[in-house]
Amino acid sequence: MAVGPALWLGPLLLFSLWEGSATVSLLRRLGEHIRQLQESSVLGLSLGQEATALPKEGWLEQPLDPFNTSDRRSFLQRYWVNDQHWASRDGPVFLHLGGEGSLGPGSVMRGHPAALAPAWGALVIGLEHRFYGLSVPAGGLDRAQLRFLSSRHALADVVSARLTLSRLLNVSSSSPWVCFGGSYAGSLAAWARLKFPHLIFAAVASSAPVRAVLDFSVYNEVVSRSLTSAAIGGSWECRAAASTAFAEVERRLRAGGAARAALRAELGACASLVRAEDQAELLGALQAVVGGAVQYDGQAGTPLNVRQLCGLLQGGGNGSRPRPYGGLRQAVQVVLHRLGQRCLSFSRAETVAQLRVTEPQMSGVGDRQWLYQTCTEFGFYVTCEDPKCPFSQLPALPSQLELCEQVFGLSTSSIAQAVAQTNSYYGGQSPGATHVLFVNGDADPWHVLSVTQTLGPSVSALLIPGASHCMDMAPERPSDSPSLRLGRQSIFQQLHTWLRLAKESPGRGGV
């Protein structure tokens, strides 16, 4: 078992659930940018403190295949420890699970669960997901290796870490362990309680899409609805302007020639836009610009929120360009500038080529790994094929599913079967777990795949009006809405109820 505390001053990453085209490239990097800014204060605060106050970095030796005891291969999984609030060895342990990206020290220092730890004298641990960040097994990312990347393998790592860290950190056997996670990691937190209730006492699952779905057209339905929400700066006029802007882009693509060339220059497209598949990549990236404004609305570091996007769409034209299209163009420029990207999307061929690279990219956000998980477990392919959708109907579902074939040789039928098996194994939106709090924001497109209504006395759901993706987990800000503040208080109260029950009950570390 390898344990090596160290300071960590590298980049901090956020991730975003999405499929694996140029759309994911933009949206995942948008999420990365937001996390970097939200957690940058961690480094500044830490550098001004004693080294003992810094989170400790450690490494666990985990079996590569936990379901085959004859396979002796292993890998090193990174974790972080913040013990500055830990009051006693029988205090609670808050385990922050990583998802489809790197996990840094901010996972145990800012936002919840770290913000909740002082009230209960809790030990806070962050566990990076296998195959992401620096927890990538030796041997690369070819298909033979990726067989060991799944939510079930990740849950086995949680169990192993729970048992090993209890011993290494001298945690009492009576200490209740509470899992936290956001987005895919939120699903893992709920599933850890579902599958291992004797080890995990409770879970707080933020923006957790526990239902896998092949065609995620409802994503854009929520984006469309959020664009009309006056509470976050939207309006029906804004939604209509978005529709008009996308119609203008498609008109210019169809016109070809000078109109298409001008479109490429004005939108900063990387590809020539001659091929239909490259046009679909561009349209998907444009949807990510709009979807990203909704998904991360109101969060520190987001290049555009809904109010700003609507302002551009409704007032971004000039004498030579239609107003909504001009506003969309300005929105693209804002996002590219904030992300430091030179152009909006790659060609489809370049996207496929990048996803086929099997060498781990230390500075990347795990696009190949996450695509593999969508192809083999979750789907989550965002489409806009409903006639009511205000954006382009491209990229269509078949072109997105084709990526699984092009990159991994996986058929459409196998993907559909994998999605069905995931829902069967975990229970979809009726997981049957106890002591789980599902937290969502109604502006977040992912909340429709989560649990938004209380399912029983010990499965609670909190739907925060106007909140975006994982917003409850972010560090508190003076600009936080009253509903977000109230939501965080509700999380605190639920934890209070559960942890009081743990203190009064025998065997409180589990059920």
Task: Give residue-wise pLDDT tens across range 88-137.
Answer: 999 999 999 999 988 989 899 988 899 999 999 999 999 999 999 999 99
Statement to judge: residues 218 and 355 lie in one domain: yes
Domain boundary (421, 438, 461) is at: 421
| Measured distance CA(485)–CA(337) in Å, rounded | 32
- The mean pLDDT of 23-30, rounded to a whole number, is 65
Highest mean pLDDT among 100-114, 156-170, 316-330: 156-170
Statement to judge: residues 198 and 138 lie in one domain: yes
- Residue 42 is predicted with a pLDDT of 52
- Say which of 16, 102, 469, 472 is annotated catalytic: 469
* Per-residue confidence band for 19, with pLDDT thresholds at 50, 70 and 90: very low
444: annotated active-site residue: yes
- Residue 457 is predicted with a pLDDT of 76
- Say which of 46, 107, 135, 183 is annotated catalytic: 183
Q: Are 78 and 58 in contact (CB under 8 A)?
A: yes
Evaluate whether residue 32 is within a structural domain. Answer: no
Statement to judge: residues 207 and 264 lie in one domain: no
Statement to judge: residues 174 and 223 lie in one domain: no
pLDDT at 224 over 80: yes
Q: At CB < 8 A and 24+ separation, what contacts does 478-483 make?
A: 479/298, 481/298
469: annotated active-site residue: yes
Mean pLDDT of the chain: 88
* Per-residue confidence band for 190, with pLDDT thresholds at 50, 70 and 90: very high
Task: Give residue-wise pLDDT tens across range 375-424.
Answer: 999 999 999 888 778 888 888 899 889 999 999 999 999 999 999 999 99
Task: Give residue-wise pLDDT tens across range 343-379.
Answer: 887 788 988 998 999 988 765 578 899 999 999 999 9
What burial class does residue 103 get, using C-beta atoms within 10 Å of its C-beta: 0-12 exposed, 13-18 middle, 19+ buried? buried
Number of independent structural domains in the chain: 2
Statement to judge: residues 311 and 442 lie in one domain: no
- Residue 3 is predicted with a pLDDT of 38
- The mean pLDDT of 286-312, rounded to a whole number, is 93
- The mean pLDDT of 443-456, rounded to a whole number, is 93
pLDDT at 16 over 80: no
Cα(first)–Cα(last) distance of the chain, in Å?
28
Q: Is the pTM of this model over 0.75?
A: yes
- Residue 50 is predicted with a pLDDT of 45
Domain boundary (421, 438, 463) is at: 421
Evaluate whether residue 83 is within a structural domain. Answer: yes
Statement to judge: residues 245 and 370 lie in one domain: yes
Provide the 10 A C-beta neighbour count for residue 90.
Answer: 15
- Say which of 444, 450, 468, 472 is annotated catalytic: 444
- Residue 28 is predicted with a pLDDT of 67
- The mean pLDDT of 178-197, rounded to a whole number, is 97
The alpha carbon dihedral of 419, 420, 425, 429 has a sign of positive
3-class SS letters over 14-27: CCCCCCCCHHHHHH
